[in-house]
Amino acid sequence: MGWERIRGHDANVAKLQSAFARSRLAHAYLFVGPDGIGKRLFAEEFTKAILCEHPPAALVACDRCPSCAQVASKTHPDVTRAAKPDDKLELPVEVVRSFCMQLGLKPSRGSRKVAILEDADSFNDESANCFLKTLEEPPPGSVLILLANSTEQQLPTILSRVQILRFHPLSVPDLERVLTLHEVGDAAEIARLARIGAGSVGVALSLAGAELGEFRAVLLNAMIQTRPDSPALAEKWLRFTEDAGKDGAAQRGRTSAVLRLLIAQLQAALRLAFGSPVDELDAEERGQLAVLARNAGPDGLMAMLEACVEAERLIDRRVQLALILEQLADKLCPVRTRL
């Protein structure tokens, strides 16, 4: 599969193909955009196209030559990849040093080398300085691809030496098409995931599965009780989170996935509160959300949404999940005065 497997980023494909045709490919690119929208897949296809031995057109991979096969199986000797280890908050200097060293070696198959560095938002001073040396004097014939969520964390010295390519969240129809390839469920499930997936394949996939859907229903049910029990809700949510396994990243991922579902529900409840059409709900969910909208009112729903966004921020900052969920549950189960 060539570029056709990449959805929603046609403008970037065209930009690179045009640069390539004019022999104006940059030495370093910074791919910027939210997680899960296909930056990594795009970088892989770009790499394959750069190194292809029998390209059928400018910057198009043949998908048949040995080089294409090696890029696809991640065994190409002239492709270097590195990312932040899961248990680290920053890109360690050792990782960056070995990445730069490998890029500096002579190519073994052809005349080009490609290096893909993920998590380029996470340099620390030491690893950024180490990387800058390579960026200032890139080995001839090499192409560096950095992947990052934003340009905010980047040092001006890095920004000034890379070409920035922006990636935007996928449209709902594009996301639906990609999810269909992933076979995550029937058409209705795919349509639902595409709507709440925030334009990100990664997010949408994290929201798939019956277990999560069932927990979402439990959560909503707890929130619409006449006397919502916030400690019990926090406890239930924490237990569900811990069922994801001992790994901290898996627990945070599951907590975030529930939060995303909850945010989508609160947004739907807000639309109900304002009398706007809400098509995506089944009868039961619509009934529950109508109760929530009536109980909380638009201001209450907004406060809950803000609490969810704050919880997302705290998860990113690795605050203890039990604390986050206790605080959040209090906001989701406000004591009502008219009992």
Taking the C-alpha atoms of residue 151 and residue 148, their distance in angstroms, rounded to an integer, is 7
DSSP assignment string, 287-299: HHHHHHHHHHHHH
Judged by DSSP in three states, 146 sits in strand
Taking the C-alpha atoms of residue 255 and residue 237, their distance in angstroms, rounded to an integer, is 8
Instruction: Based on the shown chain and the rule CB under 5 A, indicate whether residue 130 belongs to the binding site for Zn ion.
Output: no
Taking the C-alpha atoms of residue 262 and residue 324, their distance in angstroms, rounded to an integer, is 15
Instruction: Based on the shown chain and the rule CB under 5 A, indicate whether residue 50 belongs to the binding site for Zn ion.
Output: no
DSSP assignment string, 11-69: HHHHHHHHHHHTT---SEEEEE--TTSSHHHHHHHHHHHHH-SS-SBTTB--S-SHHHH
Q: In this chain, which of 41, 62, 172, 322 binds Zn ion, going by CB under 5 A?
A: 62
- Those residues whose C-beta lies under 8 Å from the C-beta of residue 276, and which sit 6 or more positions away, are none
| Nearer to Zn ion (CB atom), residue 113 or residue 254 | 113
Q: In this chain, which of 65, 244, 303, 314 binds Zn ion, going by CB under 5 A?
A: 65
β-pairing, 28-32 vs 142-148, is parallel
Which x/- pattern over 218-257 shows residues binding Zn ion (rule: CB under 5 A)? ----------------------------------------
Nearest alpha carbon to residue 61 among 17, 107, 103, 8: 17
| Nearer to Zn ion (CB atom), residue 62 or residue 302 | 62
Q: In this chain, which of 32, 50, 68, 324 binds Zn ion, going by CB under 5 A?
A: 68
Of residues 277 through 306, those in contact with Zn ion by CB under 5 A are none
Instruction: Based on the shown chain and the rule CB under 5 A, indicate whether residue 49 belongs to the binding site for Zn ion.
Output: no
How many residues bind Zn ion (CB under 5 A)? The answer is: 5
Instruction: Based on the shown chain and the rule CB under 5 A, indicate whether residue 60 belongs to the binding site for Zn ion.
Output: no
| Nearer to Zn ion (CB atom), residue 55 or residue 138 | 55
Q: Closest approach of Cβ 234 to Zn ion, in Å?
A: 54
Instruction: Based on the shown chain and the rule CB under 5 A, indicate whether residue 52 belongs to the binding site for Zn ion.
Output: yes
Contacts with Zn ion, residue ranges (CB under 5 A): 52, 61-62, 65, 68
